[in-house]
Amino acid sequence: MSKVLVSDTIDQAGIDILSQVATVDVKTGLKPAELIEIIGDYDALMIRSGTRVTQEIIEAGTQLKIIGRAGVGVDNVDVPAATRRGIVVVNSPEGNTIAAAEHALAMMLALSRHIPDANASVKRGAWDRNSFVGAEVYKKTLGIVGLGKIGSHVASVAKAMGMKLLAYDPFISTERAEQIGCQLVELDLLFQQADYITLHIPKTSETTHLINAVTLGKMKPTARIINCARGGIIEETALAAAVKAGKIGGAALDVFESEPLGESDLRSLGKEVILTPHLGASTTEAQVNVAIDVAEQIRDVLLGLPARSAVNIPGLGPDVLEELKPYMQLAETLGKLVGQLAGGRVELLNVRLQGELATNKSQPLVIASLKGLLHQALRERVNYVNANIEAKERGIRVIETRDASVRDYAGSLHLEATGTLGTHSVTGALLGDKEIHLTDVDGFPINVPPSKYMVFTLHRDMPGIIGKLGSLLGSFNVNIASMQVGRKIVRGDAVMALSIDDPLPDGILEEIVKVPGIRDAYTVTL
């Protein structure tokens, strides 16, 4: 039975799902050294933001197949290191969207009305109404940095509260922003005009310290900043200094450069600064959502199925996956076949999407083709996660082409591999009930479903050759399940595809090519 380590607090609903397929150990608060010591026993690791999954931990996780982040941000996981090792990293992109957006809105209102300090003063026994006169958000300008899932929900609620919305997000269109009721502007303009600035971006090299002494200087002295995205987007010492000097109205922070927050100037600031301990996703609803979402993906991957929200398998979102799954199986089979026909070292793989398939996303099909191609060399060490990297490291160039005009089948996939021993090509399509069929080998039309063990020959189309091959294989006790010949012209060159029940015993290929008329023979395992 597989073993899963849960190293941060997650909802029981997730544990229940994992327990269907694995032994689950919940061990929270582990020190890095403790995690390194035990991770080698586990097939999967489930975390939240509390565990830093470093390269060292990934390398110690020799059995690891998947790292599941029960939440959105994967900045605490060394994703490139996981990818190199072929470990899938999954998250829950939508499970806590509402929780995080509502926390940002709550922070904005709490900041405007001094709720935390007013509450504390009443609890201390005071009745001080003068110190806590607030400001309305109605008709104020909210600047949203990052108009993704959380930023968009913040926008729709803020709009309903009568706020004017500006947004900065270089990756979304003006139309999309307008749909949400936001005016897309440059960052400087947003900084200059906003009364409230809320951050909903990932932490990347571009966004680290996006809010610093210089950018703070561009804001209104009354502006209030909310960060429920990631610590480190704001330079905390610069922010604390700006608040202290009255250069900025205030800030509400849920996330910090280093968590838990240690010694910090922020702690000593007054009612204009509100701090919460990374609570954005901490609602009952969100925790159930993310735990189920990620536990299901871990379960699926441990059962050998694909994950729907893998962050390190490009182009493999749930929508794409559902539609392309049968074609990915086709691509992988064709990749295995063309790799074995090509033999030797493959230097170039041409992946051509034909017919209806030409309008589809090609990336997952290229990855699946490469996975198949590299299977011969790497066996189960190659997967959807590392196929691209492994191919690059082996110097395999990949060309993707599309040809919508090929109409032999609704949609077909053509792979051509060129290597040290020459060029081979195969084409396949899904027929009937999505059954894989090989429809072309080396330019010769055939129509056979692939089987585990196959033999292909290139020969001259002439009487008697099929009989000779049949009796040769019979004499070695090789049972032929099916046989088909593909030819372009009568008595020209032809290809024969044979399905056999067992692997071809050693030494027989050499006998096959001795049959007069047979020029080449290949045996493949699919």
Ligand X SMILES: NC(=O)C1=CN([C@@H]2O[C@H](COP(=O)(O)OP(=O)(O)OC[C@H]3O[C@@H](n4cnc5c(N)ncnc54)[C@H](O)[C@@H]3O)[C@@H](O)[C@H]2O)C=CC1
Pick one of ligand X, ligand HPV, none as the site partner of residue 229 (Cβ within 5 to 8 A by kind): ligand X
Give the one residue of 6, 144, 168, 384 binding ligand X; rule: CB under 6 A: 168
Q: 355-389 burial string, b = 16+ CB within 10 Å, else e?
A: bebbebbbbbbbbbbbbbbbbbebeeebbbbbbbb
CB proximity list for 93: less than 8 A, separation 6 or greater: 72, 149, 309
Pick one of ligand X, ligand HPV, none as the site partner of residue 48 (Cβ within 5 to 8 A by kind): ligand HPV
**Are β-strands 164-168 and 141-145 bridged in parallel, bridged antiparallel, or unpaired?**
parallel
**Known active-site residue 299:** no
Q: Least distance to ligand HPV from the beta carbon of 161, Å?
A: 24
Q: Least distance to ligand X from the beta carbon of 26, Å?
A: 21
Starting at the edge strand that comes first in sequence, how are the strands of the sheet with 22-26 ordered?
22-26, 2-6, 44-47, 66-69, 88-90
**Are β-strands 273-275 and 346-355 bridged in parallel, bridged antiparallel, or unpaired?**
unpaired
Asked whether position 201 contacts ligand X by CB under 6 A, the answer is yes
Catalytic residue among 69, 230, 375, 424: 230
**Known active-site residue 285:** no
Asked whether position 97 contacts ligand X by CB under 6 A, the answer is yes
CB proximity list for 301: less than 8 A, separation 6 or greater: 44, 65, 66, 88, 90, 307
Amino acid at the residue 508: I
Asked whether position 308 contacts ligand X by CB under 6 A, the answer is no
Q: Cβ–Cβ contacts within 10 Å for residue 62, how many?
A: 11
Asked whether position 206 contacts ligand X by CB under 6 A, the answer is yes
Q: Least distance to ligand X from the beta carbon of 147, Å?
A: 5
Question: Is the link from the previous residue into 505 a cis peptide, with omega within 30 of 0?
Answer: no
42 vs 241: CA distance, rounded Å: 46
Asked whether position 283 contacts ligand HPV by CB under 6 A, the answer is no
Give the one residue of 65, 224, 230, 308 binding ligand X; rule: CB under 6 A: 230
Q: Near ligand X by CB under 6 A, which window of 54-62, 94-102, 135-143, 348-356?
A: 94-102
Asked whether position 167 contacts ligand X by CB under 6 A, the answer is no
Give the one residue of 255, 494, 495, 496 binding ligand X; rule: CB under 6 A: 255
* Number of alpha carbons in the 13 Å side-chain half-sphere of residue 297: 27
Pick one of ligand X, ligand HPV, none as the site partner of residue 372 (Cβ within 5 to 8 A by kind): none
Asked whether position 151 contacts ligand X by CB under 6 A, the answer is yes
Q: Least distance to ligand HPV from the beta carbon of 158, Å?
A: 21
Nearer to ligand X, 125 or 170 (CB): 170
Of 147, 243, 236, 248, give the one whose Cα is nearest residue 195: 248
Nearer to ligand X, 307 or 512 (CB): 307
Q: Identify residues 92-131 at the interface with ligand HPV (CB under 6 A).
A: 96
**Known active-site residue 437:** no
Pick one of ligand X, ligand HPV, none as the site partner of residue 42 (Cβ within 5 to 8 A by kind): none
- 3-class state of residue 397 by DSSP: strand
Asked whether position 200 contacts ligand X by CB under 6 A, the answer is yes
Give the one residue of 116, 181, 202, 315 binding ligand X; rule: CB under 6 A: 202
* Beta strand ranges found along 356-476 (DSSP E): 397-403, 411-419, 422-431, 435-441, 444-448, 453-460
Asked whether position 72 contacts ligand X by CB under 6 A, the answer is yes
> Tokens for 170?
């270089």
Catalytic residue among 259, 285, 322, 393: 259
The structure tokens 């099916």 sit at 482
Q: Least distance to ligand X from the beta carbon of 206, Å?
A: 4
Instruction: Reduce the secondary structure of 140-200 to three states and give it as a string.
Output: CEEEEECCCHHHHHHHHHHHHCCCEEEEECCCCCHHHHHHCCCEECCHHHHHHHCCEEEEC
Q: Applying CB under 6 A, what is the total number of residues that bind ligand X?
A: 31
Asked whether position 350 contacts ligand X by CB under 6 A, the answer is no
Nearer to ligand X, 98 or 374 (CB): 98
Q: Least distance to ligand X from the beta carbon of 173, Å?
A: 11
Catalytic residue among 114, 278, 352, 414: 278
DSSP character for 310? B
Residue 313's alpha-carbon distances to 260, 308, 384, in angstroms, are 31, 10, 6
Q: What is the CA radius of gyration of the chain?
A: 30
Q: Identify residues 34-93 at the interface with ligand HPV (CB under 6 A).
A: 48-50, 70-73
Q: Least distance to ligand X from the beta carbon of 168, Å?
A: 6
Q: 80-113 burial string, b = 16+ CB within 10 Å, else e?
A: ebbbbbbbbbbbbbebbbbbbbbbbbbbbebbbb
Q: Which residues are catalytic?
A: 230, 259, 278
Q: Which residues of the shown chain bind ligand X in the complex (CB under 6 A)?
A: 71-73, 96-97, 100, 145-151, 168-172, 200-202, 206-207, 228-230, 254-255, 278, 280-281
Q: Which residues of the shown chain bind ligand HPV in the complex (CB under 6 A)?
A: 48-50, 70-73, 96, 278, 280-282
